[in-house]
Structure 1
Amino acid sequence: MDEQPKPKHRHRLMRGLSRMSSSPSLAKLTRSRSSSNPIYRAGDRGSMSCVSLASASPFGSYGSYASELSAGYSTAPTSVPGTPGPELPLSTKPRLHLFAADRPRTATMPSDIIASARMNAFDEADYFNLPVQKASKPFPRRPNFNFWEDMPFEVRLEIFRFLRPREIVQCSAVSKSWHKMCYDGQLWSRLDASEYYRDIPADSLVKIITNAGPFVRDLNLRGCVQLRERWNSKGLADACRNLENFSLEGCKIDRASVHCFLLQNTRLVSINLSGLQAATNAGLKIVAQHCPKLEELNVSWCQNIDGKGIKKVVESCANLKELRAGETGGWDDVDLTHEIFKRNTLERLVLNNCDSLTDDSLSALMIGIDSEIDVLTERAIVPPRKLKYLDLSRCRPITDKGVKTMAHNLPFLESLLLSKCSSLTDDSVSEVLSTLPSLVNLDLEELEELTSASLQALAAAPGREQLSHLCISYCENISDTGVLPILQHCPRLASIEMDNTRITDLVLIEAAATMASRNRVARGLYSGDIPTIGMRLVAYDCANITWSGINCILTCNAQETRATTQGGKSTFPSQIIGLKCFYNWQPTVDEHTKRVMRGDFVAATRLWRKWHDWMLYQEEAAAGGNTRARRRRARRAEAAHAEEEEAAGSGTGPGAGRRRRARSGPAASSGCSMM
């Protein structure tokens, strides 16, 4: 048999290709036709051994699915850069096939393939659109960081402002820096030593004033007696130069230091020199010359000050609104009060215990001197006074003549104090009270000539709606006829002092009814809520007040109001009456009020019932003692009757032979009850 000729190169190549196509590993794979942009059909599967035979492109020769890293998208370049290929179903995506025969057992999977597999497992988005995570660098730590020292100085000062003055002084012992900060003047713009003057030593107080001198605006050294010997040491008097409010009440200070303070502070608005021996008319002259902005002046109880010094201040200080000059002399000077009348700037005037005040001075203060008189009303035609607070207590020389000039001239007056002006009567008081539309506080204590007519005029006055506080103590001629209209027509009455008067239990009953009506208007409280005191009554040393009136007040304070709606809760008073009564009953009243104020109405009611039963028992016991006395007298009368009857039966006595009359009346009935 002849040998076939050996195939040439072309035939040998074609035979090799046919042998490769018959291989079992490529049986299920079909090859797509070559094109400029070859891709697999949707049903084909890719393999690691598949290599695209497409022509070269400008970006290199790559197969459409030549790598598992493509995640099912075409990696061939397109006309639109970055445009993803068609999405394949999850079941048709190429899988990673690893054969144990192709690699040794100790071989590991490349890290980039593992990262790509994890990315495909958790995120189906485009690989090129995933955000790039940058590693954050740790914040550099500041070397030698101190939170307190690195804090701004202003913030540290603001923290210290929340401390009380005593605590700031204690903090100054922590360190040198704290010591410097605690005595910084910005912390002491308002220095009020009246709250801690007993606890702070003189050295610390002097150091605070000297360091904070330029910053201090309000300086209150009331009661600082420890500075007696230190006013001239270390420039204490020269430290403060920007004061606006200045108080030296109760201090032990020399005259030169007072004058130094007044000379250096020209911005003073309020000055309080009450009770100072060093305060003189010379000091007020300095005030008049160097303190034009003064609005408040208090020189009460200053023995070395009189009307001459006050007159200089009134003439020079055009903004003076408050003047307190209690127990000072010189108020009989008509020119002084007339100067106050012309200025008409005062809103508060306190002249208590000024025995030099006369009717002429008061008349010049209210209507001036030689003012024009209205022919029809016979009243002075003057501008109304701006006074809101007027205290004439214990000004005993004034009479009805001077007080009548106050009528129709005080439309803004809110507080009027006329206590212990014993010469006043209903004639002037009634006329003044009926012309005060803004009256809130009225003090008529110890006006012996006053009667219920003045209170009746007050109850009919236009100012009855605003009246809140009334004092008529020791007005022994005032009775129920004056107090009852006040309780009925003054809806805002919160306090009434009526001890040592002629009132009876009717006043207390009316007060309880008034409070009950207020509680009906207001929302009631439920059990356990805390009420408030809506009215205070002072009714001790009143001979006509009995325990029955007190009992009515206690009942009103803890009275339970039944709900009218179905399923509603019972309510209790939201306001109660605070009562001061006879000293034997006061402990019970205080304990009852204490229980009501803490919301324990059940305990308060239990206490009231026990006290009520005890008082009834006391009355019955007292009535029983009188009954025993009557029974004792009945037994004596019966014994005397028996002796008389025996004598009549024997015929030897004075009634022998006469007929005995039948006895009737309490003695006979008592005798029958005894038998």
Structure 2
Amino acid sequence: MLQRECGWRERRGAPGGRERRPLCMGLLLSRPAALLKSRKEARLRAPAPRPGLADPYCRGPRSCCGGFVPCPAPLGETESEEEEEGASGEPCAAYAEMPLAGGKRKCNSTNNTNGGDDPGSLLSSKLPCLSPAPVDGVGPTGDGHVAAATVPAEAANINRLPSSILLKVLSYLSLMERCLAASLVCRLWRELCSDPELWRRLDLSGRQKVTDEVLAHVTSLSHGVTRVCVADCRAVSDAGVALMARSCPALLCFSATRCKQLTDGAVGSLARHCPALRSLNLSNLDAITDDALRQLGASCSDLREVHLGQCYLLTDAGITALARGCPLLTKIYLLENHLVTNSSVQCLAECCPRLQYVGLMGCSVTSRGVRHLARLGELVTLDLRHVSELDGETVMALVRSCSRLTTLNLCLNRGIDDRCVEVIAKEGRNIKELYLVSCSITDQALLVIGRFSASIETVDVGWCQEITDHGAIEISRTSRSLAYLGLMRCDKVSEDTVEELVQRYPRIVYSTMLQDCKRTLARAYQLGWKPSGSAGSAP
């Protein structure tokens, strides 16, 4: 037994009475091999300990095996013989100078008969508890028990994995986690964190200390940078974007949301130096003009996705130039672009037949312009929130023509009524999400959705004052696919009815003010949150 105490103790049963002997680790080194073998056999016959718990057979220091491998008791002694009668309570000098698990320090005990060799390595060769057992040692013993074993320490080291696997693991960490945590673990990890493979996708969003110099430096660490996000980086200017564009000719995606300091110069640099650009997010850049879109249309013909929401200076001229120069567009998002009218929608429908996502919320577009979208056979998502003078006939024509449509957002359009919803439920075979917030619909709309639609999973009818308990009950009872029902501020739907529906149809998520608060509170408790005014935390 490895003793932490230094002193003398008496050994009962010794010839001539009691024998006093020093308690030192060096004494274990002179134990007969036969006794060691007998103790090892006894250990193998013992049941294997449960991982993660202290082994009841381990009487050595916890750090020698961590409780995962049974450690033998002192040879020839029973548990009752381990009671000390004269221990001083002070650590043995030899034991204190030796690390608990391996190491290079020497044991200076006079009982070390091995000439000052490293006791950790010597004990590892004699006591199985001090060295991990080989994996192939696992197996049944003669009495039906299973021998305990662990994976060798050198084999369990994560650094023994191939570098390609370690790089894949590190790629799931954020940029800050790699720089401030992983790179400080060891030299190998520091070298791996500097690998150009990990610097091809850079997310610098929200970092206010990212300047032009920082952006130019991090983008020069790899010759194959494909994604850069500088959203909310207010210290990045047109010059910094230009330096980045020169060092990233293979750039595919760039996002600069809410970087209001950027102008047409930044977009022009991207267009000149990054012709392979495929995704561009310039939302809320109110200094961008039509000239930026002309440069994109002239140089970036492979552009597939573009976000231009709240770019208030854009007009039909810029959208038209972009549509004609980028025929492969699949997604365009416009939000409150008040200078964009029906002519832009018509040009997009004619020049970009592959469009799958179109967002026109708050634009100066009417039903006349929306009708042009009916020629987009691959349209999947259509956002028509708050479109001026949008009528039900236009929406019904779109649903009949665009058979692949899966998401339809018609919020804030008073021209959408029960008849329009009925056509959507019957003709929209692939529609899964339908948003009807603040539309002119009644319970009849919910009834037809539940009766005729087998695909709609999400329905939001918040702020529709004509929705009552009857409509919520019927759509819950008849719909086979419904998974979410939004009833926010539907004042004619009582909370008692919603509580009953929650209990009766657990597969459906009901959204009301009270239900959302309950889910938020339950989630907070799961994450360990406790009310500050609780009795346990009160002073």
Query: How high is the TM-score relative to the length of structure 2?
Result: 0.59
Alignment partner of 1:537 is 2:526: no
Equivalent AA in structure 1 for residue 200 of structure 2: S
Distance in 2 separating the partners of 1:358 and 1:282: 26
In structure 2, what is the equivalent of residue 467 of structure 1?
456
Residue 358 and residue 179 in structure 1: after superposition, are their counterparts in 2 closer, same or farther (change >3 A)? same
In structure 1, what is the equivalent of residue 349 of structure 2?
340
Equivalent AA in structure 2 for residue 190 of structure 1: R
Contact 2:327 2:352 in 1 (8 A): yes
Distance in 2 separating the partners of 1:365 and 1:190: 35
Alignment partner of 1:450 is 2:424: no
Distance in 2 separating the partners of 1:284 and 1:413: 28
Q: Shift of the alpha carbon at 1:244?
A: 0.8
Q: Shift of the alpha carbon at 1:450?
A: 1.7
Contact 2:486 2:512 in 1 (8 A): yes
Q: Shift of the alpha carbon at 1:426?
A: 2.5
Q: SS of the residue aligned with 1:357?
A: coil
Residue 162 and residue 497 in structure 1: after superposition, are their counterparts in 2 closer, same or farther (change >3 A)? closer
Alignment partner of 1:496 is 2:485: yes
Bigger drift between 306-315 and 261-270 goes to 306-315
In structure 1, what is the equivalent of residue 199 of structure 2?
188
After superposition, the C-alpha distances for 1:533-579 in whole angstroms (9 at most, x for unaligned) are x5233165xxxxxxxxxxxxxxxxxxxxxxxxxxxxxxxxxxxxxx2
In structure 2, what is the equivalent of residue 223 of structure 1?
232
Q: Shift of the alpha carbon at 1:480?
A: 2.8
Q: Shift of the alpha carbon at 1:515?
A: 2.2
After superposition, the C-alpha distances for 1:88-118 in whole angstroms (9 at most, x for unaligned) are xxxxxxxxxxxxxxxxxxxxxxxxxxxxxxx
Contact 2:251 2:277 in 1 (8 A): yes
Distance in 2 separating the partners of 1:193 and 1:351: 29
Q: Shift of the alpha carbon at 1:254?
A: 3.4
Unpaired segments of 5 or more residues in structure 1?
1-150, 368-383, 519-533, 541-578, 581-585, 599-675
In structure 2, what is the equivalent of residue 421 of structure 1?
413
Q: Shift of the alpha carbon at 1:315?
A: 2.3
Q: Which of 490, 493, 501 is residue 511 of structure 1 equivalent to?
A: 501
In structure 2, what is the equivalent of residue 297 of structure 1?
306
Residue 492 and residue 514 in structure 1: after superposition, are their counterparts in 2 closer, same or farther (change >3 A)? farther
Q: SS of the residue aligned with 1:325?
A: strand
Map 1:249-260 to 2 at 5 A: 249-251=257-259, 252-260=261-269
Q: Shift of the alpha carbon at 1:273?
A: 0.9
After superposition, the C-alpha distances for 1:348-406 in whole angstroms (9 at most, x for unaligned) are 1111111x111211122226xxxxxxxxxxxxxxxx73221111111132223433322
Contact 1:308 1:330 in 2 (8 A): no
After superposition, the C-alpha distances for 1:37-74 in whole angstroms (9 at most, x for unaligned) are xxxxxxxxxxxxxxxxxxxxxxxxxxxxxxxxxxxxxx
Q: Which of 292, 303, 306 is residue 283 of structure 1 equivalent to?
A: 292
Contact 1:406 1:432 in 2 (8 A): no
Q: Which of 370, 381, 393 is residue 389 of structure 1 equivalent to?
A: 381
Q: Shift of the alpha carbon at 1:284?
A: 1.4
Distance in 1 separating the partners of 2:457 and 2:168: 42
Q: Shift of the alpha carbon at 1:457?
A: 2.1
Residue 177 and residue 333 in structure 1: after superposition, are their counterparts in 2 closer, same or farther (change >3 A)? same
Equivalent AA in structure 1 for residue 498 of structure 2: L
Q: Which of 369, 376, 398 is residue 406 of structure 1 equivalent to?
A: 398
Residue 237 and residue 317 in structure 1: after superposition, are their counterparts in 2 closer, same or farther (change >3 A)? closer
Distance in 1 separating the partners of 2:418 and 2:369: 22
Q: SS of the residue aligned with 2:306?
A: strand
Q: Structure 1 runs of 4+ off > 6 angstroms?
A: 151-160, 171-181, 594-598
Equivalent AA in structure 2 for residue 395 of structure 1: V
Contact 1:209 1:240 in 2 (8 A): yes
Contact 1:469 1:493 in 2 (8 A): yes
In structure 2, what is the equivalent of residue 271 of structure 1?
280
Q: Shift of the alpha carbon at 1:314?
A: 2.1
Residue 410 and residue 455 in structure 1: after superposition, are their counterparts in 2 closer, same or farther (change >3 A)? farther
Equivalent AA in structure 2 for residue 479 of structure 1: T
Equivalent AA in structure 2 for residue 207 of structure 1: H
Say how many residue pairs are matched.
Answer: 368
After superposition, the C-alpha distances for 1:3-28 in whole angstroms (9 at most, x for unaligned) are xxxxxxxxxxxxxxxxxxxxxxxxxx
Identity value in percent = 20
After superposition, the C-alpha distances for 1:585-619 in whole angstroms (9 at most, x for unaligned) are x67x977x579979xxxxxxxxxxxxxxxxxxxxx
Residue 160 and residue 410 in structure 1: after superposition, are their counterparts in 2 closer, same or farther (change >3 A)? closer
Q: SS of the residue aligned with 2:322?
A: helix
Q: Which of 466, 469, 481 is residue 477 of structure 1 equivalent to?
A: 466
Q: Shift of the alpha carbon at 1:419?
A: 0.9
Q: Which of 216, 219, 226 is residue 206 of structure 1 equivalent to?
A: 216
Contact 1:190 1:219 in 2 (8 A): yes
Q: Shift of the alpha carbon at 1:408?
A: 1.3
Q: Which of 374, 377, 381 is residue 366 of structure 1 equivalent to?
A: 374
Q: Shift of the alpha carbon at 1:191?
A: 0.9
Distance in 2 separating the partners of 1:175 and 1:596: 37
Residue 339 and residue 198 in structure 1: after superposition, are their counterparts in 2 closer, same or farther (change >3 A)? closer
Equivalent AA in structure 1 for residue 481 of structure 2: R
In structure 1, what is the equivalent of residue 116 of structure 2?
none
Distance in 2 separating the partners of 1:475 and 1:182: 53
Contact 1:249 1:273 in 2 (8 A): yes
Q: SS of the residue aligned with 2:465?
A: coil
In structure 2, what is the equivalent of residue 320 of structure 1?
329
Q: Shift of the alpha carbon at 1:264?
A: 0.9
Equivalent AA in structure 2 for residue 365 of structure 1: L
Q: Shift of the alpha carbon at 1:187?
A: 2.8
Query: How high is the TM-score relative to the length of structure 1?
Result: 0.48
Contact 2:328 2:352 in 1 (8 A): no
Q: SS of the residue aligned with 1:191?
A: strand
Equivalent AA in structure 2 for residue 538 of structure 1: T
Q: SS of the residue aligned with 2:294?
A: helix
Distance in 2 separating the partners of 1:155 and 1:238: 31
Residue 431 and residue 159 in structure 1: after superposition, are their counterparts in 2 closer, same or farther (change >3 A)? closer
Unpaired segments of 5 or more residues in structure 2?
1-160, 528-539
Distance in 2 separating the partners of 1:429 and 1:153: 56
After superposition, the C-alpha distances for 1:408-442 in whole angstroms (9 at most, x for unaligned) are 12322111111111233333333333311112111
Distance in 1 separating the partners of 2:305 and 2:315: 17
Q: Shift of the alpha carbon at 1:472?
A: 1.0
In structure 1, what is the equivalent of residue 67 of structure 2?
none
Alpha-carbon RMSD across the aligned residues, in angstroms, is: 3.9
After superposition, the C-alpha distances for 1:507-538 in whole angstroms (9 at most, x for unaligned) are 4366246426x6xxxxxxxxxxxxxxx52331
Residue 395 and residue 296 in structure 1: after superposition, are their counterparts in 2 closer, same or farther (change >3 A)? same
Distance in 2 separating the partners of 1:398 and 1:295: 27
Equivalent AA in structure 1 for residue 274 of structure 2: N
Equivalent AA in structure 2 for residue 332 of structure 1: T
Residue 281 and residue 160 in structure 1: after superposition, are their counterparts in 2 closer, same or farther (change >3 A)? same
Q: Which structure has the larger Rg?
A: 1
Q: Shift of the alpha carbon at 1:301?
A: 0.8
Q: Shift of the alpha carbon at 1:332?
A: 3.0
Residue 207 and residue 473 in structure 1: after superposition, are their counterparts in 2 closer, same or farther (change >3 A)? same
Contact 1:281 1:309 in 2 (8 A): yes
Q: Which has the higher contact order (CA 8 A, sep 6+)?
A: 2
Distance in 2 separating the partners of 1:232 and 1:221: 10
After superposition, the C-alpha distances for 1:270-306 in whole angstroms (9 at most, x for unaligned) are 1111111342222211221211221111111111212
